[in-house]
Chains A and B, each alone.
Chain A
């Protein structure tokens, strides 16, 4: 069965600093990987996704993520954080083309941005 681990519960960075949020997954085949962002009291918004091909994927709001099969990781990065990036970030793994009913979410990483 697949699973997702986000080892950092809470990260604090200064505005303008770089950011990396970690995500490790467990899945036997090539996974479908996602990063979602959730502002307080809101629903989730898809930041980016990886299905196949280029292992470095670009998303919205200046985020990118790199799929590393050897490390079973899909870390999210941003070169310069803005105060509006403060939110909770969820990594998710999908078990192939079987629908979102087989989508597993990590427990999230809360990002605080210091002015």
Chain B
């Protein structure tokens, strides 16, 4: 079945450590996105990529980094510079980079900083 796979589902990190969240899609979508979700808040865009080897900062990119070396993969690194990294992270993709917002989401990764 086509879809988006995020791993790990749960991740614990000590303060000062970098962690990388994986996002893989087999939908052949060009655009991919990373969102952060906190309780009582909507989704906030961290980074997005509309094509391989190119990505753009979203609204809350500070303390995060991404890469897009393959169409299928868009990993997110939460660096030690992110002051409040505990959150639920969602990866998404869309067929058309210019599409207004028909997103397909993964099941998310919950990061907890100890």
| A interface with B by C-beta (< 8 Å) | 4, 9, 32, 34, 36, 41-46, 49, 51, 90, 92, 94-101, 103-108
- Asked if B4 CB lies within 8 Å of chain A CBs, one says yes
B76 to chain A, nearest CB (A): 15
Decide if A100 touches B94 in the complex (CB within 8 Å): yes
B42 touches A104 (CB 8 A): yes
- Segment of B14-22, B78-86, B102-110 in the binding face: B102-110
Report yes or no: B94 in contact with A43, Cβ–Cβ below 8 A: no
Counting CB contacts under 8 A, is B58 at the interface?
A: yes
Instruction: Find the B residue at minimum CB distance from A39.
Output: B107
- Give the chain A neighbours of B107 by CB distance below 8 A: 41-43
CB pair B105–A4 under 8 Å, yes or no, is no
Q: Is B74 an interface residue (CB 8 A)?
A: no
A99-B90 Cα distance, complex, nearest whole Å: 17
Count CB-based A-B contacts (< 8 Å).
81
Interface pair B101/A34, CB less than 8 Å apart: yes
Give the interface size class of chain B: 20 to 34
Please determine whether A101 and B108 come into contact, CB atoms closer than 8 angstroms: no
Q: How far is the CA of A106 from the CA of B94 in the complex (A)?
A: 20
Query: Whose C-beta in chain A lies nearest to the C-beta of B45?
Result: A101
Say yes or no: A97-B105 contact (C-beta < 8 A), given A43-B4, A90-B42, A108-B42: no
**Please, how many angstroms separate the alpha-carbon atoms of A108 and B56 in the complex?**
26
A107 touches B40 (CB 8 A): yes
Are A51 and B100 interface neighbours, CB within 8 A?
Answer: yes
Q: Is the CB of B101 within 8 A of A94?
A: yes
Partner of A44, one of B31, B90, B97, B100: B90
Cα(A99)–Cα(B102), bound, Å: 9
Structural contact, B98 and A98, CB atoms closer than 8 A: yes
Selected contact of A99 from candidates B41, B43, B50, CB within 8 Å: B50
